């Protein structure tokens, strides 16, 4: 006998352009230990026919919403405004939730109303050594360059504007300076409904850092719940090895957004310049000698 799953007062908002990975994200919601009351798929009108809701997802209420603008942050906020529940999960269309992930986020959020809570990510992608805990004098010096005496600081935003990940713990939770935008559960009363991302790029570079800073300004604590697990399927890398033009556009776009963060949030211009100089050298080497 199948036990009927609890339906929690949660809206899930997924901004998308109809990528194939969306199916896996929705499937993981259906397989969760609790179900949301609604899932809002927010798409630009230009992608009208890209995604059709399969019948196998009939156990949850899924609604397609169309926007006039193709922009991840704009689409997400549009979905936030139309959500009808006191808890709202923002979810990227390439993120898969493990079975108990949503339930654990929900239980934490209920007890901690002034928080935004995100899961730990298990990535299927290889992470460069330069972004891990440094195990050599050279790497420690690199982290001093981008973040001063604090060096490598998981969950923090460095003096250069670089955002450190923190995915090593398995239990408990940590308060962070930023959360990845791939999956965050909010209480609806805490949500930012004003579009904070005024950059006109096709991809929303560093939007999760800006979002995190705006939430912190509202005295919302940013929590990483390590026992709640999600899987990120896509890389956020600005490097596209087969396209020098795209890589250059991505580099300059990200640089511009991060410069805004450095300028407006008391970071270090010198460390910012050094970070991007080193990043530029790494990109050139990757484009020239990386695996194809």
Residue 194 confidence (pLDDT): 94
Residue 272 lies in a domain: yes
CATH number reported for the structural domain that contains residue 95 in this entry: 3.90.550.10
254 located within any domain: yes
Among the candidates 185, 205, 232, a domain finishes at: 232
1 part of a folded domain:
no
What pLDDT sits at residue 125? 58
The domain total for the chain is 2
State the pLDDT at residue 232: 87
Q: Tell me, what's the pLDDT at 290?
A: 65
- Full pLDDT tens readout for the chain, 292 residues: 466 789 999 999 999 998 888 999 999 999 999 999 999 999 998 877 777 777 777 778 999 999 999 999 999 999 999 999 999 999 999 999 999 999 999 999 999 999 999 999 987 556 677 778 898 999 999 999 999 999 999 999 999 999 998 878 889 999 999 999 999 999 999 999 999 999 988 789 999 999 999 999 999 999 999 999 999 877 666 666 567 788 889 999 999 999 999 999 999 999 999 999 999 998 888 777 765 4
Please tell me whether the overall predicted TM-score, pTM, comes out greater than 0.75 for this model: yes
Query: Does residue 100 share a domain with residue 78?
Result: yes
Residues 28 and 59 in one domain: yes
One domain, residues 100 and 141 = no
Contact 63, 131 (CB under 8 A): no
Instruction: Assess if residue 46 is contained within a domain.
Output: yes
CB-based contact 158:146 (threshold 8 Å): yes
- State which residues form the domain around 100: 6-126+165-232
């Amino acid at each position: 006998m199948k036990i009927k799953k609890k339906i929690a007062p949660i809206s899930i908002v997924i901004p998308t352009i109809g990528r194939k990975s969306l199916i896996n994200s929705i499937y993981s919601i259906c397989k969760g230990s609790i179900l949301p009351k609604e899932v809002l798929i927010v798409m630009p009108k230009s992608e009208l026919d890209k995604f059709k809701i399969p019948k196998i997802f009939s156990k949850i209420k899924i609604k397609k919403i169309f926007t006039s603008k193709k922009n991840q942050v704009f689409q997400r906020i549009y979905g936030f405004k139309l959500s009808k529940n006191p808890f709202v999960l923002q979810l990227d269309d390439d993120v898969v939730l493990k079975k108990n992930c949503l339930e654990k986020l929900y239980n934490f959020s209920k007890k901690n109303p002034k928080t935004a809570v995100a899961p730990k990510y298990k990535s299927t992608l290889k992470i460069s050594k330069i972004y891990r805990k440094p195990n050599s004098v050279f790497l420690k010096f690199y982290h001093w360059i981008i973040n001063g005496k604090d060096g490598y600081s998981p969950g923090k935003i460095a003096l250069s504007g670089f955002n450190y990940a923190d995915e090593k713990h398995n239990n408990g939770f940590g308060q962070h300076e930023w959360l990845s935008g791939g999956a965050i559960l909010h209480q609806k009363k805490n949500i930012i409904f004003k579009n904070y991302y005024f950059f006109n790029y096709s991809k929303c570079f560093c939007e999760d850092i800006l979002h995190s800073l705006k939430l912190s300004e509202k005295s919302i604590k940013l929590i990483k719940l390590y026992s709640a697990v999600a899987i990120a399927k896509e890389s956020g890398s600005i490097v596209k090895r087969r396209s020098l033009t795209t890589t250059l556009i991505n580099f300059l776009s990200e640089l511009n957004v991060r410069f805004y963060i450095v300028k407006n949030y008391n970071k270090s211009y010198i460390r910012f310049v050094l970070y991007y100089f080193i990043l530029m050298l790494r990109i050139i080497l990757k484009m020239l000698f990386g695996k194809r």
